[in-house]
Amino acid sequence: MPFKLDSRHRAIAQKIYGHPLNHNIQWHDVCSLLERFGDVFETHNGNWAVSVDGDVVSFGSTRTRDLTEDQVIKVRHFLESVGVTRDTRKSRAA
């Protein structure tokens, strides 16, 4: 799946892959990044999810402004599945 990350989305990806784990990653920033790969929506029970080619990945509750540690890990795994890795997060992927 070809995609390009602008500087704002690369900055969000850097936060997601940061070490030690970043605790101030906001949902609205992550949703903006996830929209590059699929349809982002809130489920009936308040979870954020993304649908890519018919597959749905849920990231859990959005009751707080920032992602939890588990949610950051889930987003990392999703990004890796679409080709955004630690090695490619600083450059434009195509």
Structure confidence by residue, pLDDT tens digits, 6-38: 889 989 999 999 988 888 899 999 999 999 999
Q: How far is CA 43 from CA 38, 48, 51, in A?
A: 15, 6, 11
Q: Express as a percent the part of the chain with pLDDT over 70.
A: 88
What is this structure's pTM? 0.82
